[in-house]
Copies of this chain bind each other. A is one copy, B any other.
């Protein structure tokens, strides 16, 4: 996008997204097969917007757009596409277009692209790269998935300890062509290639030429082990407000650098994953095929069915009581539902607190006591409300008492389950966002039905 075009664009409340009018115009151009009009419409769009466009179109229009606009295709569009769609688009692109597109990309973007592809597609892309790029990509792929090694870029701007500002600037001027596209620090290394500090470009620009680099070090300096999981990397960037950080191997030697935009991307993906997992949607996006989405959601629903059947088996123990007092069948879902909701509240707070390291071994029991207190207090309030509802609706003080007692029990249990289940899963090395919800609602359903129907059988029959 050129500056003129941006200045012409009126600021919109909708922010920067692809707007409805543009999408409509592009659809028209595709329908008319108007290659030139399409080029005019696509030209000002950022690759991320073109990726969004491809995601919003249905399969037929998408393929037509790729055919008509093949000459305009850029590598960045592939990087921005949803994983599911990426495979489809790569398979559909003519090999020469794909090769051109991939050669445009930085090596860390190629790595990101390759990770999710099948072996034949991976090889097609590797073959399209020039030798040095291919080697860099293959080296990066040797690091474990989701590690700092995969995330980092290998092009690093580094300087020895004895250099002055002037020497660093002269070096940068002399090596203009091989500098990374974006960099924010010059990393200072000792003779063993171990990073010892870094200097911001701002300091470099504003300091006298004869000043020593070591005198300009930033406090924020931290190194990242190359095998560190990317989620920990993102956490460190967020917690310590890092802009870039050198990556070191086991011997402490500089092997690459991670910048905040990569960390922001990981943070975004981690959040997305947490939200989807908490809701029982493993992965998936709107551009996946129906069969794919059905397959992704099925296992979660199946587990839910099993837990629902367990709850039903509890109810089945009390068939006799229900046959005598049908009001029990009317009221029992309320107890289960309130428990499920209260449990989900505690659970979500716990999952978030685990992710942000606010819930640790040092305060877990205090948190459990706190959640239990909250659960019991809300339980007591709703016990009174439902006791009155039960009494008024069914004119039975005993029924009112039973539902009140069951409410307190279930909200207390919900609070305990909501904290202890995710904490236990986390200790066992299972992502607490993944499985906690099912366990918690199973507990609250079973306890809710059992407490309510059991008490009712004891008191009413």
A301 touches B341 (CB 8 A): yes
Residues in A360-391 with C-beta less than 8 Å from chain B: 360-363, 366-367, 370, 373-374, 377-378, 381-382, 385-386, 389
A293 touches B338 (CB 8 A): no
Q: Interface on chain A toward B: helix, strand, loop, or mixed SS?
A: helix
Q: With a CB–CB cut-off of 8 A, which chain B residues contact A46?
A: 239-240
B279 touches A348 (CB 8 A): yes
B333 touches A311 (CB 8 A): yes
Q: With a CB–CB cut-off of 8 A, which chain B residues contact A206?
A: 172-173, 175-176, 179
Partner of A235, one of B15, B180, B290, B305: B15
A297 interface hit (Cβ, 8 Å): yes
B284 touches A349 (CB 8 A): yes
B363 touches A334 (CB 8 A): no
Q: With a CB–CB cut-off of 8 A, which chain B residues contact A348?
A: 275-276, 278-279, 281
Q: With a CB–CB cut-off of 8 A, which chain B residues contact A108?
A: none
A184 interface hit (Cβ, 8 Å): yes
9 contacts between A and B (CB under 8 A): A16-B235, A20-B361, A46-B239, A172-B202, A201-B205, A275-B351, A276-B348, A298-B381, A301-B338
A237 interface hit (Cβ, 8 Å): yes
A252 interface hit (Cβ, 8 Å): yes
| A347 and B278 alpha carbons, distance in the complex (Å) | 12
A146 interface hit (Cβ, 8 Å): no
Q: With a CB–CB cut-off of 8 A, which chain B residues contact A196?
A: 3, 7
| CB nearest neighbor in B for A56 | B363
Partner of A197, one of B3, B204, B332, B336: B3
A119 interface hit (Cβ, 8 Å): no
| CB nearest neighbor in B for A58 | B366
| A325 and B1 alpha carbons, distance in the complex (Å) | 69
Partner of A286, one of B261, B302, B367, B377: B367
Interface size on A, residues (CB 8 A): 143
A64 interface hit (Cβ, 8 Å): no
The segment from A110-118, A130-138, A264-272 that touches chain B is A264-272
A304 interface hit (Cβ, 8 Å): yes
A141 interface hit (Cβ, 8 Å): no
The segment from A33-41, A88-96, A214-222, A420-428 that touches chain B is A214-222
- Other A-B pairs beyond A294-B373, A305-B338, A312-B331, 6, CB < 8 Å: A11-B228, A276-B349, A286-B349, A290-B370, A305-B386, A309-B334
A241 interface hit (Cβ, 8 Å): yes
A319 interface hit (Cβ, 8 Å): yes
Measured between C-beta atoms, what is the minimum distance from A424 to chain B in Å?
17
| CB nearest neighbor in B for A168 | B205
| A19 and B220 alpha carbons, distance in the complex (Å) | 19
| A208 and B222 alpha carbons, distance in the complex (Å) | 32
Interface string of A294-336 (1 = CB under 8 A from B): 1001101110110111011001100100110011111111101
A172 touches B329 (CB 8 A): no
| CB nearest neighbor in B for A357 | B17
A73 interface hit (Cβ, 8 Å): no
